[in-house]
Structure 1
């Protein structure tokens, strides 16, 4: 049995060697037959070369044309003429890649036969058979898949290249096309990357090192594998010596030269890196731009971002986080509510250390910043008005046909322990008032309002929805509040305005669609109520002195999240503060969101005159007695305040006995004094 096994093994080994030889001979024979078919070359002249696929840098620019990022697939290329490339690099390249370049017609039959012979002797692929022209054809027109159809096309295109261009033109194309590693394509970019000099000034030793890299850009990189790079350089020098391009003395001297390879430059800090990533995602996944075209097609992507605003957003975030825990994260997005243009985006504290864009994170509870959506729903249904009063005290709420109990509480257990109106509830962020409101309006109506405003995150129609217990993203919150800022009109946020190819042809152009989703009067009344957040007693009063223009907004605080979402007529901004893993935030950390919003808003709109929120038709202003929430009149005990109502929901009764002068505070005078009061707050007097 043992002898039979040995004999079987002996029979198997020759069969294996023969099989390998037959496969190798068959492969090379087929290739030789394809390339040796001289008559087939005649049909090459009847077809045209396709457009070359030379990789070019795609640029993302801001609204003013300022560069934000280069999407290149890592491409760094600078096209130069052959006369601007060192003759030593030309000779080194020819010596190691294609010694018979000036003799063949695109496919080197002699080299092919030599490679086949060496391969058969070694029973493996030891020799390459592609000419320099074939390599150029592959890089320009084809993929790098190992198939017969690709090899046939490669030979065909190589022959066409030889018919179309002179030898020196092909060599120039090749030396501007070939990849030298670390994102450098072409001799000029490689010379500057590795030796900080133009390709024209390369020495013999430098040229030999560069010429050796394309065979394996990663393996022969002088940065990643210096020993292998030096060994490859010596092999190139020997090839140059064997072809007679350099003398023995030049070979010895170049081999002994210690090259000063330039350190790789540190990656430059990109402007708006989170936004640039978002733009690429939108272009590929929503607009349908091919990813290879995106990275290599030399596109110009014009965006909505304002680089100056972006820089001010980053500065405000940096100052707002200064001195805090280094793990504390943030997100900021600013949108022009008039057209949906995204003007600034900060997705985190440090892009280099963490590329996750928290602007789109649907994992954070908005807390009380969600309440304006609740109150807009209640105002729309006219179940609540600015003078509707609820008692602020610990309260039990029964729902689901009284089968469930909800026990909300105010922040830090603070209650007014008296009846309060809607403006006071918004300013102080009273939770009891909010839950009373959702119990009156119905949670389903609040979900419906959120959907109209553009919030798509999952929401449940339960009482706790009033307190922002269901996670949404800063992106959604900024989009929703933009509807209030834009008089009830909704425009989906836009990041890209146009995409052009390298010839200037428009591939895509945005056409924003605006939809009136809320009554302008409802948006105004909701906005007017949110302005009180900055008044004395409001949750954002401490930052009111930083703002010199009309602003509306809402704070939001949970155990692990701090928010401020606010707007002017020109800019809506959402700011989130918290930890990635939901760790609890401290009281001081919770107070960082509003200052970031205020500093950014004022800096971003520097030079833009303050504008009031325009009051549309359907709004009625009336002076109200705060003690009774009835129309103010002579003899009322409290100081009258002006309140805005949807027409038809304003009080009709006066706080004074019948016959009192209930109208003395109404009309234009009331509105004028209100504006003067706001102006005094804006200027800080």
Structure 2
């Protein structure tokens, strides 16, 4: 009997011990939570921090048609999206895989936690989506020791509960998608969907959503790039699809069919040197730097905005469709033109290739200047503190490098071993290009192509570069003459050489320009003379008005480059940028009103508050009549002059090695087009400026050094170098009817007093159009 009592007492002792341990453990857990909430294990975020978690957000560059052109970021390429921008199957995939009871708990899943404790974590983790978000937002990776993991888990629970109180379930889902790093600069779901599939999150299909959700397990391990772990990613994606079928989001048949499919990856990395509008984006970076440095543009707390982390939205005038058409036109034309340039500049055909008209010493001097202006020289001299001799020697030592090349008409990179000096010479043989397109009424810049490949050719040939403009300068001379002398396009001048005497306009020597074809005699109408770029006629007009009024007009047209008031500017000796030329020509299309080019319409902060709104800048420069008559003159260029190939229908024929047959241009435009080709004296610069009533586009093509150029006018003229880019671009723009590019007539002034129809014109009808006495043919005929 005593033995039985002792057994009962022993059992009672165990029961008491159990309850002591249970209550003690319960109190310990409560104490753990209390200590964590009091900040003993580290400071917890308060409600203000929970409302505005400190995450780096990339600045987004947005086109006029609502497409993201690119981003500015340092480490985090993150642009948040709202819950409504997520497809339902993406949300379903996340819940099925990561937190099946997400909608029924308040931050902590008791069943999952108990299971994890009983199985010591071997049956799967117990972290809810809210807990994972807390971990991502506020304390990152877990501790490596047991005590640290316990205290961090306690903090995670508390923050998760606070998040559940602060936000709706939908907001927590959106934040979790936005905060996660999917690898390869894909920070957040928006960047991930764009980088891995080339689309916005809402456009993701079910299998794509499943792949991205599968990456939540470990984006470093489950990296879908072909050289990393595509098989593992597919297996993980299939696990997600199985979970969706398990919880009733999809049926078994759909799961089985999707699991058989490939990933369908369309990997397109988002970097500063790749993607759309790279040259424009770099211009914009400088614009934003100036804007943030201006003390007027400060945050409410007085600090500067950071374009890499403050999540600004920059709304631009660039049209993403037109930008792609412009880049495509460059990508089609330049390899063909380059192939011809290489063909003409083989060592056998040109021992000084790629240079012409330079002797050995001149070439050596040019290369030495290039060496000292190179990034390699700057890095070795100023970063590595190397001596000049060591730097010079390094340029003659073979080294591994990746160089640009056109291959089968497309841009390629070639890994090779080459001396840096040889690579400099190699790159100097490449023709470059610059192109800009603008709405003349609003000033909105629609396309900006500063070169062929920003990664290898970073110098921007839209705004940075200034090159001789050749005959594209002539319309400024004609406009000045029309304004001052009331001339008609039908007025005739003798096509004979003229000499402007020394010191007449400050020029030290007599100036006697030649026509490019060396043909003289008879008379030519102004329209015919401009259409065919007759130098003698332009020189006569310059002699009538003088160079200073021409310079004054050009300055009013927005050209800031230095232009000396000497007669030779009539033939295009000044160096001007594509940006300036497009702005100036737009004045003619805009009835004589200059509108400063606009690239940014407004800037918003991450909350949508407008921080900057552009103010249009315009001024009257010419009368509507003078502007219209000048446009009418330039229409002659595409009707019967150097731009007439835009009207012709030719075979779109190219040689097998992508060298263009210049006679074939399949554009066949029927609508009014005003324009002007430009070619410099030694064919080093080719230009085409083209206008329709609501779009003005300028194109320049040439090599880095003017000593590298075509030997003859056949390929070295603006009509062969630059005009094809304009033609292909405009053809694409017209095929896209959503752009509404005009095919109509240029607006004619109501009270036009200058006759532009030469079939109706007689010189006597307007006394102002008669030539001054000293300009009679007898006096000017040499």
> How high is the TM-score relative to the length of structure 1?
0.61
RMSD over equivalenced CA pairs, Å: 5.3
Q: Deviations over 1:337-356 (max 9, x none)?
A: 11111122222123343233
**TM superposition shift of 1:576:** 0.8
* 1:448 corresponds to: 552
**TM superposition shift of 1:49:** 7.0
Q: Does 1:52 align with 2:53?
A: yes
Q: Is the 8 A contact 1:550 1:568 kept in 2?
A: yes
* 1:604 corresponds to: 733
* Aligned-partner Cα distance in 2 for 1:624–1:494: 35
Q: Does 1:566 align with 2:669?
A: no
Q: Does 1:371 align with 2:474?
A: yes
**TM superposition shift of 1:560:** 0.7
Q: Does 1:595 align with 2:724?
A: yes
Q: Of 701, 709, 716, which aligns to 1:577?
A: 701
* 1:336 corresponds to: 439
Indicate the SS of the match to 1:576: strand
Q: How does 1:343-358 map to 2 (within 5 A)?
A: 343-358=446-461
Q: Is the 8 A contact 1:491 1:513 kept in 2?
A: yes
* Aligned-partner Cα distance in 2 for 1:461–1:647: 30
* 2:748 corresponds to: 615
* Aligned-partner Cα distance in 1 for 2:505–2:533: 28
**TM superposition shift of 1:644:** 11
**TM superposition shift of 1:270:** 2.3
* Aligned-partner Cα distance in 2 for 1:414–1:212: 71
Q: Using a 3 Å threshold, how does the CA distance of structure 1 residues 346 and 596 change in structure 2: closer, same or farther?
A: same
* 1:550 corresponds to: 672
* Aligned-partner Cα distance in 2 for 1:89–1:264: 36
* 1:230 corresponds to: none
Q: Deviations over 1:353-391 (max 9, x none)?
A: 323321113331001101111221222222865426244
**TM superposition shift of 1:275:** 2.8
Q: Does 1:62 align with 2:191?
A: no
**TM superposition shift of 1:463:** 1.4
**TM superposition shift of 1:178:** 7.3
**TM superposition shift of 1:321:** 2.8
Q: Is the 8 A contact 1:106 1:133 kept in 2?
A: no
Q: How does 1:206-355 map to 2 (within 5 A)?
A: 265=267, 267=269, 270-286=275-291, 293-325=306-338, 327-355=430-458
* Aligned-partner Cα distance in 2 for 1:401–1:516: 28
Q: Using a 3 Å threshold, how does the CA distance of structure 1 residues 605 and 618 change in structure 2: closer, same or farther?
A: same
Indicate the SS of the match to 1:508: strand
Q: Does 1:398 align with 2:531?
A: no
* Aligned-partner Cα distance in 2 for 1:483–1:566: 13
Q: Deviations over 1:379-409 (max 9, x none)?
A: 2222865426244226464235787224343
Q: Is the 8 A contact 2:485 2:769 kept in 1?
A: no
Indicate the SS of the match to 1:371: helix
Q: Does 1:523 align with 2:627?
A: yes
* Aligned-partner Cα distance in 1 for 2:176–2:165: 11
Q: Is the 8 A contact 2:485 2:768 kept in 1?
A: yes
* Aligned-partner Cα distance in 2 for 1:351–1:338: 30
Aligned length: 519
Q: Using a 3 Å threshold, how does the CA distance of structure 1 residues 609 and 422 change in structure 2: closer, same or farther?
A: closer
Q: Is the 8 A contact 1:274 1:347 kept in 2?
A: yes
Indicate the SS of the match to 1:412: coil
* 1:183 corresponds to: 185
Indicate the SS of the match to 2:576: coil
Q: Is the 8 A contact 1:391 1:418 kept in 2?
A: yes
Q: Deviations over 1:498-545 (max 9, x none)?
A: 333333333333342432221111101111111121233x22223233
* 2:422 corresponds to: none
**TM superposition shift of 1:271:** 2.8
Q: Is the 8 A contact 1:389 1:421 kept in 2?
A: yes
Q: Is the 8 A contact 2:709 2:716 kept in 1?
A: no
Q: Using a 3 Å threshold, how does the CA distance of structure 1 residues 509 and 605 change in structure 2: closer, same or farther?
A: farther
Indicate the SS of the match to 1:316: helix
**TM superposition shift of 1:622:** 4.3
* 2:257 corresponds to: none
Q: Using a 3 Å threshold, how does the CA distance of structure 1 residues 391 and 67 change in structure 2: closer, same or farther?
A: same
Q: How does 1:463-482 map to 2 (within 5 A)?
A: 463-482=567-586
558-567 or 351-360, which moves further after superposition? 351-360
Q: Is the 8 A contact 1:522 1:646 kept in 2?
A: no
* Aligned-partner Cα distance in 2 for 1:301–1:525: 39
375-384 or 602-611, which moves further after superposition? 602-611
* Aligned-partner Cα distance in 1 for 2:451–2:73: 24
Q: Is the 8 A contact 1:57 1:71 kept in 2?
A: yes
Q: Does 1:498 align with 2:615?
A: no
Q: Deviations over 1:550-603 (max 9, x none)?
A: 111111101310111121111111111111222223431423222332343344
* 1:487 corresponds to: 591
Q: Using a 3 Å threshold, how does the CA distance of structure 1 residues 276 and 531 change in structure 2: closer, same or farther?
A: same
Q: Using a 3 Å threshold, how does the CA distance of structure 1 residues 535 and 78 change in structure 2: closer, same or farther?
A: closer
Q: Of 411, 415, 418, which aligns to 2:519?
A: 415
Q: Deviations over 1:401-446 (max 9, x none)?
A: 7872243433534232334342232122122222232233122111
Q: Using a 3 Å threshold, how does the CA distance of structure 1 residues 516 and 187 change in structure 2: closer, same or farther?
A: closer
> How high is the TM-score relative to the length of structure 2?
0.54
**TM superposition shift of 1:320:** 3.0
Q: Is the 8 A contact 2:182 2:219 kept in 1?
A: yes
* 2:653 corresponds to: none
**TM superposition shift of 1:317:** 2.7
Indicate the SS of the match to 2:581: helix
Q: Is the 8 A contact 2:183 2:220 kept in 1?
A: no
Q: Deviations over 1:458-514 (max 9, x none)?
A: 111111111111110111111101000010112111122233333333333334243
Q: Is the 8 A contact 1:93 1:211 kept in 2?
A: no
